[in-house]
Structures are given as structure tokens and as C-alpha cells.
Chain A
């Protein structure tokens, strides 16, 4: 035991040095490197540190909405009197979780946190087995499971199986509560019928359509393999469903009804929970953010929080970096929307067009680095057709701008741009941004729909120009202590 402590202490010291160096040279604020160093020196450090958290750990995973949901949970838990320790930068592999803990660790490997500290860890889909096992998380939140980076993760069924295996491999003493999206057939069935699961879903019959998107990943029932039929689709393959053999969507405990979108300003809805009902206004647009808010409420319910502070945290939520983040540049508004897979892109597109009007100024950027996924096929599964007739100035950018241009041609978007408008294909993001902004009238809005590394690149450009704060500053990563309430 003593030797392990010493080992962890040494590893922690080395990791903290790595973190200072990383921040000093300005390369990503030390959001992962210290974790990488420590994990290498002492693979047991993650478990050792995480299990010292007095409030335990809440893990958030899923294809889309991990970052926003974990930011929401952090805000809700702060409002409820907890002191969340959160990997807010989105560094979500085990090394990122470890790096977050290291900022609160002493050189002896002891965690120095307030008594009301609780871990809120966004976790990459592939890192779930390791982080779940090591941190002994008390709550695992799964937002959804969509097709994303097939080259990296494999197909969605394979990921669901990894998660099921990880959950069933936990020791009997590990008391895990699952928070699952009732509207996602695969996610909803992850618990194998456990009574302690808390589900969330949308219960508004006026929201959505009657057929899934082209990019649907849930054609078959995850329980029996029968054909899945939808009564209502909110987006992607989420909705109200029943299979040929009668396996239906379970009734969620946390529900949003009477949903009203208000352009870029956000969405109002009635929140129904076992603790009562509230009308809330979420200041971030997009139906998927309603799901993220519900996931947050369900997590708070799993931890036994009162409804009042949770509902008020929804109303004051600021959003996470790069997710419908708004900037002002030379008198124009830039709205940056992360869109990294077909379903995310479809919802971004619907939010743009759903605001009504036409003549939108749109920038779309496609990169294919590892963090984006090297396979850009997915753009053919996204419904860019939604933009036909809606855009007056279109800027196409990123390392794979050429692929995107072909996609937008076959979607009919390029052909639908009026002769007074412009189509620009420009690989370099800085030039593309300048062109898109200067092409918009003063007081106008440019919507930038961008993949992950394009978002980071654009954002760091805006930071250098003084339009935004670094994401690790914004995330509070540099602040040594989280204020306890």
C-alpha cells in the first residue's frame, strides 16, 4: 500500500509539472498531457484519485451532447450545493479525466477537495469501460448513440455491446444508477430492465416527424432483433417506437412537453419530473439541447437534488464552447455550431432553417483529422438538402472542402443560390471566415457549421483576434479551486 502511494505521489508530481509546462507554452492548457504522463507512470492513479471524491462520480457519455450535458450537470449541481470537479474542456479520454483530478491532487496523491466535491466527467464512448471501472461512478448518463466516426469506433451496435459488457462486469458492490435516453431504442435498452434506471424523453406530440432520418442507426429492436416502427421521430432515430414483437419505448420519468423554439435565443418547455412541474427557458437553441437539459435533470434526480435550483440552472445556462456559441465580429454576429456527424448536422441545419426567412449566410467546414474522423462519407448521410433555396452566401471550407462542395452540389444547394449571392470554396479557415463575415451585411448573422477540429481552429483564431476567451479559461481549468457553496 505504502509503495503504491509513493508511486502515485511521484506520478502526480510529474503530471503536475507536465501541466504547468503545457499551460506555460500555451498548448491546450494542460487538459490531457498531465493525465497521459501520470497514467503511464501509475495506471492505478485514476482509480486512486477518483475514489477519494466525497460525492462520487457522474459520468456522461453518448455520441452527441456529452459536452453540453456535462456543463449543464455541473451548473445544476453547483446550484444544488455541490462543488463539481469537471473536465470542462471536453478532454474526455481517461487521461483527460485524470488530468482534471490532478489539478486537485497533492504531491502525495491525496485529493484536496471540499466535502461537497463531486466528479462530473464527460467520457468518450470508447473510454467508458476503463473510466467506469476505475472511478466506480455512481451515475452513468447516456445521451444517445448515433453513427459517428465509423473508422474509429466501429459500428454503433459494437459500441452498445462494449457498454453492456462494461456495466455487467462491475462488481456486485458497485451501486450504479443509469440515466438513459428513453427515446433512443439502443440506449434505452442498455440497462436490461433495472429498476433503478432513470429515463428521460420528449413527450410533445407536436414535435418531430413520422419517419426516421436517412442516417438512421436503429432499424431493428435491440431487445429481440425485430423490425422497429416509429410512432413519432423527434430527430435522428430518437422518438416513440415499438417493434414487431411489442418492445416499446419505456415511459420516461423526466419529460419535456409544450416545447416552443425561439430562434437563436433558445427553447422554452414544460419540465415534468417526479418532484413536480416547471416551465423553463433554456437559453441554447436546438431540440437536442432540450434532450441535454433533460439528461441533466435526470442526473440531478438520480442524486436526489431538489427541483427548484435545477430548474433555475437551466434558465441561466450559458452553453458550452463552440456549441451555438455567439460572437460579434465587425458588427456581424457569428454563430458557431459544432456539427460532426449526420444527426448533429441535420439538427444544426434544421435550427438554421427553422428560424424562417431565406438568404442565410452560411459557412460549412469539414476537416478529417483523427478527432473529426478520417472518413468523411458521413456528409452524404446528412440532409444538406434542407438548405436548398435558403442560402444567399455559401462558404465551403476545411481540409475536405472539395468533398463538401460536391455534396452541396448534389444536394442542389449550390444550384439554388441566387445570382446575387456567392459560393466560395476556400480550404483555409481564416480566409473563409473573413470572406463569410465581410460578405454579410452589418447587423447580419453568419452561421458556421463546423467539424470538431475546425471548431477548435476557428475558435483559437477568434481568441487571437480578441473575440473570444480560450476554451480552457472559459472552462475554469486554470482556476485551482472550485468554489464551494
Chain B
């Protein structure tokens, strides 16, 4: 899948969607659509490239990298490719300051390891200084609306980020990493230490989907801005009319005030992904 728009300026944003044709759970497509449209509305040329199995990530090839979640079976299928074909390119991109957004399943894959609790640890790529432990299927999954205070929010703008989480694994960040945000409501990384997500260089890992970017236009623009800054030295973006987006954002903030316990929904059967 390649979406092209007519280039009207020299800058061009090339978005790499890792396993775009395979990892698409929890509406990851919404995140890509928001990045694309917000570039188009500003007449910034934008291109989305699905990085499939066997494709390498070349140095300087992408301006933004996005990686979503997948079903467990699908995810295991990809791990081999991730380690053999993608690891070096991905590590290099993070090192070079390419903005990266990794959501849910892929967030876990980019840590040091994943401990399923029922067998041996599964190694991660170790790009993020963090690890994930699954406390067992008898322990309640983290499900529900989440509000976080984004630690790295651009000065002068809103710092709340809203989303929906649905994960069994608990993630703990190491001393070499910063949290993406502080949990205001919901569980975040582990429901214990008040952290959500991780930030390393310009890469963000998070459990928030819902989709994440549609209701958080400031975060979408932050990623686009970082991509442009690497080309032009300026992250400045033309403002857009975002009243619908902020209204949807506000709805989640208001629910937090009116709902007694919006998080921790019930799960039926033994259900859910092992992660």
C-alpha cells in the first residue's frame, strides 16, 4: 500500500508502517491515517510505505516509523523476521533520532524481554530499556480508558494524552529510559508505579490505542514536527482546525470525572491474548 499526495514543497514525510499488512489490531490504521491527513492538509508531501516481511529498513529511508499490535499467533510469526531483518535498521533509526511510535504488542517487543510467566523468557530487541512480565491469566487484564500527563509535551500546549489500553503484561522501565507519561487514570505500564509508556531519543512506546493519534492531535503533530525538523531544522507546523479532535479528547477527560471505575473491564472465559 502506498499513498502518494502531490508534493508542493521540497520536504517530504515518508512514513514506514512496519508489517502494515499484518499487524493491524486495535485500529492501528487510524494512527497512520491521522499522520497522513495532517500532512496533506498542510500541503506537506507524504508517503506511507508498508514494510513487509523480508524488507530491510535502510538508513535515512524513513522519516517516521510506526509499529502496531498483532494477534499473538501473528506476532510470533513475525518475531523471526524482526530479529533477522529489521533489528539493525530499527536500532539505527532510533539512534539517528527518527520519530518512532510503537503501540501495545510492538511496544513489548522492543523491550529487553517478555516473561510470559508460563515458560522461558522471550528476548526483545532491547531498543527500549524496559521489560514486560505477564502475571498469569488469573490476574485481571488492564482494560479501559487511560488519561496520562505527557512528560515531554511541547511547552505551552496541552499535556494530557487519552487512549484505551488492553494488555495482560506488566511493563517495567529501567533507569536508562524515561516514561512517556504519568498515569492520571487507568493502569499504564503496570498499574503500580504510575508510569505509562517509554521514550528513548525520539522513539515512543505506549500501551495506548483507541486509536491514539486521532484524539491526540498534539502528539500526531509532535511526530510530524520531529520528522520535519530533521530535514529543515524547524518543527514549526501550520495550525489546523482541531475542534472535533479536542472535543473527543475532552469527552474522555470528562468521563474520568463522572465515571466511578471506567477501567478494568471484565474479560470472559480464559480469553484474551497471552500478552
Contacts and interface: CB of A to CB of B under 8 A. Distances in A.
Interface in A83-103: none
A150 B167 CA distance: 11
Interface residues of A, number: 39
User: Which of under 10, 10 to 19, 20 to 34, or 35 or more describes the interface residues of B?
Assistant: 35 or more
Contacts of B27: 377-381
Interface stretch (B56-64, B83-91, B194-202, B241-249): B241-249
B37 interface: yes
A157 interface: yes
Contacts of B21: 219
26 contacts: A151-B144, A151-B265, A153-B269, A153-B271, A156-B71, A158-B271, A158-B272, A215-B24, A217-B71, A219-B74, A374-B262, A375-B210, A376-B210, A377-B27, A377-B211, A380-B27, A381-B27, A381-B29, A381-B30, A402-B248, A403-B251, A406-B214, A406-B244, A406-B245, A407-B30, A410-B37
Nearest to A126: B268
Given A378-B27, A402-B247, A154 B214 contact: no
Contacts of A151: 143-144, 164, 166, 265, 267
Given A126-B269, A380-B27, 13 more contacts: A151-B265, A151-B267, A162-B270, A217-B71, A219-B74, A377-B26, A377-B209, A379-B27, A380-B214, A402-B248, A402-B250, A403-B251, A410-B37
Contacts of A157: 71-73
A308 B139 CA distance: 53
B33 interface: yes
A410 B34 contact: yes
A225 B73 contact: yes
B265 A406 contact: no
Question: Ordered nearest first, which 8 A-B pairs have the shortest CB separation?
Answer: A380-B30, A154-B272, A380-B27, A154-B271, A377-B27, A402-B248, A126-B268, A155-B71
A425 B34 CA distance: 20
A269 interface: no
Interface in A277-300: none
Contacts of B144: 151, 374
Contacts of B145: 374
Contacts of A217: 71
B33 A380 contact: yes
B271 A409 contact: no
Interface in B235-257: 244-245, 247-248, 250-251
